[in-house]
Chain A
């Protein structure tokens, strides 16, 4: 076990009963993640990427194994306690955004703070500031139906970031976006990673996946490779990224 890991996963298994056959969605997963890391998680469809992501995000419970989040064992916690940890440490970014259609961009971003009981004035200030940072300062009062895909995902990211989580979990964040808005979203995520947030991106997009300093590959519920890029290579990628 690593001392400064914020996520310690050891021997996690998850099985789904599909018809007669048990389906091993996760098999003996071991994973340590340190604060500030940038990971990509790739692999064929059905290999268990989303299942692992949901496990880390405390939306799912493993059948066996241990999961420590910020040094706290999570297996025995009640649903209430897990919800509290999720609120405190985790931010989710979804492929299909999952914004609430009746709420404006600003209200969608405010939602996590509202759930946390933050006073209206404070949460409004924080949310509009963050949205402005993400280039949406002119779209605060707009409903999701009037926003483009890239804008929607930026609102989604703002909502994930507003509670200042330690780890950002993104499942195919660019999956529904065209090339350029995908690039925008990637830039934003990486910018916040550089500022210290731990970033885990699930993706099918090799170009995106290869940008991460640590790359995980899953097949049939098993992490088959766990590659860390050398600092030099990262520099190269970053130069490529900025020259694009």
Chain B
């Protein structure tokens, strides 16, 4: 029996039991679409994050204090605690010609208060260049002073939400407020841009980096943000940064440099892993469909006993009978899988066109995996019933 005949024969048998076939088809279709739809949410989130990162510009580098040993092999050679990164380190990096902007950052939490109103928030100490690197701007008032790295001027720029909570309806510009033990004058308001990389910019205060050093009583930088003149300088610049820091830190480049690519790829890895596990959970519904295939196949084998006996008397071997039943479940699986693919791709398409803000995308690998899985299920779960069919004794079956 050739393949086309197998398909025809199975199709005729399936068409005869319309309700039963429809149920199996539905189960497989739903299994496939639950895998696709759930992974499409994860993939959508991944694409969303990728988009967010690229909005930052690919020319950014982040320098963190301390060496993160990803290999985990080399023991610390110098001292026990890494040297702090300082504002002077950041200034030294300005001498590297491929770097256009350097923004040292000190971050910490402190209590901000205006008369009786107070809040605990994140304080960012930095310079003007941070605004360029992070694509921020001041909506009202002035920028941080030019000499933010040298003088601890008592001024601050507030996020929109913070400003509203501390000053209610009145304009905060020019007003004084208290951060920790110091008084600062409000010189500007941040443009509302919402969240950026997990920091709620609306609920933050930005002060000159020297003021932050005084406020937190520590010269240690949280990190340094750098912007390259061109993306292609990335590798050579990383080498130069390490060299510069090593010169300043007694020969040890005890820093970690993160490029946007590296960060993005580790985010990607995490989200793909999460998406894949969601998909695997959804695949349980395919196993359920598989069990349904098995039950239905058993029913079909016992109902078609006479036919099996006949096929054997016509010269079909047990192996051919087994193949007939396996192919029969593969036929219904193909239809079910196709239905599932059509269903989920249309749902995603409809959502994408009507609600473009909801990030959804079916990843290619989950499409392949769902198709592969459903056929494996069909094979696996029709194997036992098909063997039962192959073992039917034609004499008994034909006796009726």
> Could you list which residues of chain A lie within 8 angstroms of chain B, going by C-beta atoms?
54, 57, 59-60, 79-80, 83-84, 86-88, 90, 92, 94, 96, 98, 100, 102-103, 111-112, 114-117, 120, 159, 163
Contacts and interface: CB of A to CB of B under 8 A. Distances in A.
Contact of A59 (B13, B320, B395): B395
Contacts, number: 64
A96 B398 CA distance: 9
Contacts of A87: 314-315
B315 A94 contact: no
A86 B310 contact: no
B316 A100 contact: no
B314 A115 contact: yes
A117 B1 contact: yes
Nearest to B318: A79
B312 interface: yes
Given A60-B395, A115-B1, A98 B310 contact: yes
Contact of A83 (B12, B16, B317, B400): B317
Given A59-B394, A114-B9, A115-B1, A84 B315 contact: yes
B306 interface: yes
A114 B1 contact: yes
Contacts of B272: none
Interface in B379-399: 394-395, 398
A84 B318 CA distance: 11
Interface string B285-315: 0000000000000000000001101111111
Contacts of A114: 1, 5, 9
Contact of B316 (A90, A115, A163): A115
B2 A100 contact: no
A79 B318 CA distance: 7
Nearest to B399: A50
B319 interface: yes
Contact of B317 (A57, A80, A111): A80
Nearest to A97: B310
B312 A96 contact: no
A102 B13 contact: yes
A100 B398 CA distance: 12
Contacts of A103: 12
Given A57-B313, A84-B317, 12 more contacts: A54-B395, A59-B313, A83-B315, A94-B398, A100-B310, A102-B16, A103-B12, A111-B314, A115-B311, A115-B315, A115-B316, A117-B2
Contacts of B307: 100
Given A98-B310, A102-B16, A117-B1, A112 B394 contact: no
Contacts of B9: 114
Interface in B86-143: none
Contacts of A159: 314
A102 B18 CA distance: 12
Contact of A86 (B306, B309, B315, B400): B315
A111 B2 CA distance: 12
Contact of B313 (A84, A86, A102): A86
A155 to B, nearest CB: 13
Interface residues of B, number: 27
A146 to B, nearest CB: 16
Interface in B293-349: 306-307, 309-320
Nearest to A117: B2
Contacts of A112: 314-315
Contacts of B13: 102
Contacts of B4: 120
The list of the 9 closest CB pairs from A to B, nearest first, reads A87-B315, A83-B317, A102-B16, A112-B314, A80-B317, A86-B315, A98-B310, A92-B313, A114-B5
A60 B311 CA distance: 15
A79 B13 CA distance: 25
Nearest to B316: A115
B386 to A, nearest CB: 15
A80 B313 CA distance: 12
26 contacts: A54-B395, A57-B313, A59-B312, A59-B394, A59-B395, A80-B318, A80-B319, A83-B312, A83-B318, A84-B315, A86-B313, A86-B314, A92-B313, A94-B398, A98-B309, A100-B307, A102-B13, A102-B15, A102-B16, A111-B314, A115-B316, A117-B1, A117-B2, A120-B5, A159-B314, A163-B315
A103 B315 CA distance: 18
Given A86-B315, A102-B16, A96 B310 contact: no
Contacts of A98: 306, 309-310, 313, 398
A88 B9 CA distance: 22
Interface in B1-29: 1-2, 4-5, 9, 12-13, 15-16
Nearest to A84: B315
A135 to B, nearest CB: 23
B226 to A, nearest CB: 71
Contacts of A111: 311, 314
Contacts of B2: 117
Nearest to A163: B315
A159 B310 CA distance: 11
Nearest to B397: A98
A96 B16 contact: no
Nearest to B314: A112
Contacts of B394: 59
B398 A79 contact: no
Nearest to A119: B2
Contacts of B318: 79-80, 83
Nearest to B390: A79
A83 B394 CA distance: 12
Most buried by B among A83, A88, A96, A102: A83
A102 B307 CA distance: 11
